[in-house]
Chains A and B, each alone.
Chain A
Amino acid sequence: MADDDAQLDAKIRLQIYETMTKINLADERVRGLLMSGKIMIVYYSPRGQECIPAAVAAAMEPDDYTVTTYRGMHDSIASGAPLGEILAEMMGKATGTSKGKGGPMHLSDPNSGLMVTTGIVGGGIPIANGVALASQLKGLDRVTVCYFGDGATNIGAFHEALNLAAVWDLPIVFVCQNNEYGEYTPRLDSQRVEHISERAASYGMPGVTVDGNDPDATYRVATEAVRRARAGLGPTLIEAKTYRFMGHLFGDQMPYMPKEELQAAIAADPVPRYRELLIADGTATEAELGEIDQRLTGELEQAVQAALDAPLPDPAELFTDVYAAEVPA
């Protein structure tokens, strides 16, 4: 067992930094495109929640599986799905992950293990169980990570799925990104548990609350949960506490979020904070991180340009992929 106080491997921390920066840059660019009117899409910004998938993905193997939810661009990027295809899909282009037929709420890229992104709160959790079950039945030695928000923990599918995952000892890790709001309602107006992780006890699985804005702590908790899952010891519920900087969807004026609360969260922005930490503790120099930032910015610009330039889907695509073969009317 790693000593919790010992510093994590520099390579891991830089990997986490790179992923969260990639997410952060992409999010900023998408919001810029929206603001300038270059694109018009429904956008659920993950700003503020970047650390969680960045740290969890670092604890996963490349061929592990991910299932996520509509506020999921950060999870998709962390899963390894190609950024260019993610952006193209969000813009409804033929070169998108789903040929433009899924959209921002339905990113999937089986090549990188991103199996489902659902637009239905909690709807992905039962399906993630199935992915985990198949890898168990096939002896694939792969773990499934299922992301969802705090709001999803009040829907029936969450209860059914966590119960079944425990009964079947599935190789799965449930990661609740608790950003304290379900759409426009504060979490504690809609549930009576202080910590969502407490709910794990009712399914007979471990539940852990972690500061999701602390990448090192999140990585440690995720590593243990992934290890348990891979060892056949069953599921874990991780509650990663975080905060949403941009409200529910792009353009949200956030009148329901106390100003001081939001300001405090932004002041503690986990992305620059981790950067400063890595420099302060000697993991990397300003110049080294600057190089990563520059490389990522270059890659992002290429991806954005390619997505903007990409063609729209052929109208005939309307009728393909409904069934394996077209079903006559």
Chain B
Amino acid sequence: MSDPQITLAQALNQALDNELARDDSVFLLGEDIIDPAGGAAKVTAGLSTKYGTQRVRETPISEQAIIGAATGASLLGMRPVAEIMIADFYAVCLDQLANHAAKLRYMSGGRTNVPITVRGLATGGLQFGAQHSQMVEAWFAHTPGLKIAIPSTPADGKGLLTAAIRDDDPTIIIEPATLYAMKGPVPAGEHVVPLGKADIKRAGSDVTIITYGKQVHDSLDAAAQLAGEIDVEVLDLRSIVPWDAEAMLESVSRTRRAVVVHQAVQRFGVGAEIAAWLSQELFGSLAAPILRVGAEYTPVPYSAELEAAHLPSTARILDAVRTVCKA
């Protein structure tokens, strides 16, 4: 029997439901997460009704207080899952994440740890403007102590969120809102996707696209369009920290060409780190410089045409892949 087809939002809900049922130390907190609202994107729908408002806790619009409460509770062994509604709002609680959650293990010499999960959506391409459309994974990747994962499919969403909740370090899951309604096969019951394990979403031999989140699908589109011309491998990194060094090295040593694609602005982004690291590791065996495809270095504009010009597109991925394959 094949796995049931459910949406990403439903898959994430299943992960939360399973972990709440499995472990008494798990609880949820965030803005508007209780029923009847059930979360701004309905990811927590039904959970406060099932588990009560002690374990699924409504909060004021106070992101610092949310992350602080999660962090403090985790010091006593709880496993809180905090919702930060939209990724842009991480800016208002960055002190709690970057100065506290990320560093308490280190600053205590390992005597305390912060097993929190922080999850929420990120948009982009939905005309929400400059303060509701950013991808912010580079902020966190640049902060030792935090882990970060970005799912591209319902099954990965369920598996990564489950892994994050069980992980002993603070882990941020950024959920691409544009994929919430996307359906895919998701194993019923327990499903864990370990952090730090990439997934080859399409095998190929000419070039590797390293990507994650929504751009996995754009990359698969590009790969499909190039079929017969260039054989593209699409490597879904799934988690940025920790990342799957082995999978990237294996794939790119085979194809000798790579393009890194992400939605966040290209300059100073995760793609820059991947490209620099791979160039160093595989110098001499690469057939072409590693290219990056990310957003233009501007705030995210509102107008549809401008936003489309800002964001990476399938067309830009096609260009980049063709360029590295010509070299």
Shortest Cβ gap from B37 to chain A (Å): 17
Inter-subunit contact B105/A322 (CB<8 Å): yes
Taken together as a complex, chains A and B put the C-alpha atoms of A157 and B96 apart, in Å, by: 9
Inter-subunit contact A130/B169 (CB<8 Å): no
Inter-subunit contact B242/A327 (CB<8 Å): yes
Inter-subunit contact B109/A96 (CB<8 Å): yes
Inter-subunit contact B242/A127 (CB<8 Å): no
Taken together as a complex, chains A and B put the C-alpha atoms of A134 and B54 apart, in Å, by: 11
Q: Which of A98, A132, A163 interacts with B111 by CB under 8 Å? A: A98
Inter-subunit contact A132/B72 (CB<8 Å): yes
Task: Report B-chain residues with C-beta under 8 Å of the C-beta of A106.
Answer: 107-108
Inter-subunit contact B96/A126 (CB<8 Å): yes
Task: Report B-chain residues with C-beta under 8 Å of the C-beta of A288.
Answer: none
Inter-subunit contact B72/A127 (CB<8 Å): yes
Chain A 141-171, CB-CB to B under 8 Å as 1, else 0, gives: 0000000000000001100110110011000
A99-B109, A125-B68 as given contacts; A130 in contact with B75, CB under 8 Å: yes
A37 at the interface (CB under 8 A from B): no
B27 at the interface (CB under 8 A from A): yes
Q: Which of A101, A120, A137, A160 interacts with B100 by CB under 8 Å? A: A120
Closest B residue by C-beta to A161: B65
Inter-subunit contact B106/A101 (CB<8 Å): yes
Interface hit among A3-11, A28-36, A110-118: A110-118
Closest B residue by C-beta to A327: B242
Inter-subunit contact B112/A328 (CB<8 Å): no
Taken together as a complex, chains A and B put the C-alpha atoms of A155 and B113 apart, in Å, by: 26
In this complex, how many residues of chain A approach chain B with their Cβ under 8 Å: the count is 48
Interface hit among B56-64, B204-212, B219-227, B300-308: B56-64
Task: Report A-chain residues with C-beta under 8 Å of the C-beta of B71.
Answer: 126-127, 130
Inter-subunit contact B100/A115 (CB<8 Å): no
Inter-subunit contact B109/A134 (CB<8 Å): no
Inter-subunit contact A161/B64 (CB<8 Å): yes
Task: Report B-chain residues with C-beta under 8 Å of the C-beta of A123.
Answer: 95-96, 99-100
Chain B 94-118, CB-CB to A under 8 Å as 1, else 0, gives: 0110011000111111111100000
A101-B106, A134-B76, A134-B77 as given contacts; A110 in contact with B111, CB under 8 Å: yes
B147 at the interface (CB under 8 A from A): yes
Closest A residue by C-beta to B103: A106
**Residues of chain A in range 163-199 having any CB-CB distance to chain B below 8 Å:** 163-164, 167-168
B150 at the interface (CB under 8 A from A): no
Inter-subunit contact A163/B72 (CB<8 Å): no
Closest B residue by C-beta to A318: B106
Task: Report B-chain residues with C-beta under 8 Å of the C-beta of A160.
Answer: 60, 62-65, 68
Taken together as a complex, chains A and B put the C-alpha atoms of A101 and B105 apart, in Å, by: 10
B270 at the interface (CB under 8 A from A): no
Inter-subunit contact B109/A100 (CB<8 Å): yes
**Residues of chain A in range 279-327 having any CB-CB distance to chain B below 8 Å:** 320-324, 327
Shortest Cβ gap from B210 to chain A (Å): 16
A128 at the interface (CB under 8 A from B): yes
Taken together as a complex, chains A and B put the C-alpha atoms of A137 and B108 apart, in Å, by: 24
B177 at the interface (CB under 8 A from A): no
Inter-subunit contact A127/B111 (CB<8 Å): no
A120-B100, A134-B73 as given contacts; A321 in contact with B64, CB under 8 Å: no
Task: Report A-chain residues with C-beta under 8 Å of the C-beta of B111.
Answer: 97-98, 108-110
Shortest Cβ gap from A153 to chain B (Å): 15
B67 at the interface (CB under 8 A from A): yes
Inter-subunit contact B107/A131 (CB<8 Å): no
A16 at the interface (CB under 8 A from B): no
Taken together as a complex, chains A and B put the C-alpha atoms of A163 and B59 apart, in Å, by: 10
Taken together as a complex, chains A and B put the C-alpha atoms of A119 and B111 apart, in Å, by: 18
B44 at the interface (CB under 8 A from A): no
Interface centre among B57, B62, B241 (most CB of A within 10 A): B62
Inter-subunit contact B107/A108 (CB<8 Å): yes
Taken together as a complex, chains A and B put the C-alpha atoms of A101 and B107 apart, in Å, by: 5
Taken together as a complex, chains A and B put the C-alpha atoms of A99 and B110 apart, in Å, by: 9
Inter-subunit contact A101/B109 (CB<8 Å): yes
Task: Report A-chain residues with C-beta under 8 Å of the C-beta of B12.
Answer: none
Q: Which of B59, B72, B242 interacts with A328 by CB under 8 Å? A: B242
Closest B residue by C-beta to A157: B64
Chain B 193-230, CB-CB to A under 8 Å as 1, else 0, gives: 00010000000000000000000000000000000000
B124 at the interface (CB under 8 A from A): no
Task: Report B-chain residues with C-beta under 8 Å of the C-beta of A108.
Answer: 104, 107-108, 111-112
B residues contacting A by CB (< 8 A) are: 27, 54, 57, 59-60, 62-65, 67-78, 80, 95-96, 99-100, 104-113, 144-145, 147, 167-169, 196, 241-242, 245, 277
Q: A116-B104, A324-B105, A324-B167 are in contact. List 13 more A-B contacts (CB 8 A).
A: A67-B72, A97-B108, A102-B108, A108-B112, A110-B75, A110-B108, A116-B100, A123-B100, A126-B68, A131-B72, A133-B69, A157-B68, A160-B60
A residues contacting B by CB (< 8 A) are: 67, 96-102, 106, 108-110, 115-116, 118-120, 123, 125-135, 137-138, 140, 156-157, 160-161, 163-164, 167-168, 320-324, 327-329
Residue contacts A-B, CB under 8 angstroms, 9 given = A98-B107, A108-B104, A119-B99, A123-B95, A126-B71, A131-B73, A131-B75, A133-B69, A327-B242
